[in-house]
Structure 1
């Protein structure tokens, strides 16, 4: 079994209602943005005819469609995302990517600040 992954970045804004100190929560409640990096992995055996799990061009094309749903958008308004947390971004990207590629096995989303979330629903 092999795991093949591709990353993409997107810039997006959002608001977030947090239950922390008023000083910390204030910045999150205002519209603010981040640069995100998403990694999407597909798993499977090498195909007999190609020796690849999947042609990377197929993976990149599917992820370009997913990226277009998020890049330079206000995440609060993205249908099906819900509250724009790292966790919900992982699930959203997984759902969108796996609708295009059933071999998707993992999604991670990170921000430049060092925050990262990993989603492996079949693990």
Structure 2
């Protein structure tokens, strides 16, 4: 069993309604932005005809499409994302990638502040 991954980054703005201190909640409610790093993991056996789990060129094409939906966008307005949390970004990226590459096994999304979320569905 092999696991490959490809990392990409995007810059995006969002707001977030939070139940924390009034001072911290106010900062989250204002439009603000982050540089995000996402990593898509693909897991499987090598295909006999190619020797690859998935052609990385195909994975890069899929990532370009996902990045185009997120990079320099207002995440609150991205259709299908929901609240722009790290968790929802993981689920969104996973779902978009799986439309094209069924071997996608997990997704990680992080921000420079040190926050990171990993999504590994259990199906």
Compute the TM-score of the two structures, normalised by the length of structure 2: 0.97
Residue number in structure 2 paired with 1:114: 114
Q: How far apart are 1:122 and its partner, in Å? A: 2.6
**Mapping of 1:1-123 within 5 angstroms?**
1-122=1-122
Structure 1: which 5+ residue stretches go unaligned? none
Q: Is the 8 A contact 1:90 1:118 kept in 2?
A: yes
**4+ aligned runs moved over 6 Å, structure 1:** none
Distance across 2 between alignment mates of 1:58 and 1:88: 24
- CA-to-partner distance for each residue in 1:11-36, whole Å, 9 max, x for gaps? 00000011000111111000000000
Q: How far apart are 1:55 and its partner, in Å? A: 1.2
CA RMSD of aligned residues (A): 0.9
Q: How far apart are 1:52 and its partner, in Å? A: 1.2
How many residues get paired?
123
Q: Is the 8 A contact 1:105 1:122 kept in 2?
A: no
Stretch deviating more after TM superposition (43-52 or 86-95):
43-52
Specify the SS of the correspondent of 1:25: helix
Q: Is the 8 A contact 1:36 1:110 kept in 2?
A: yes
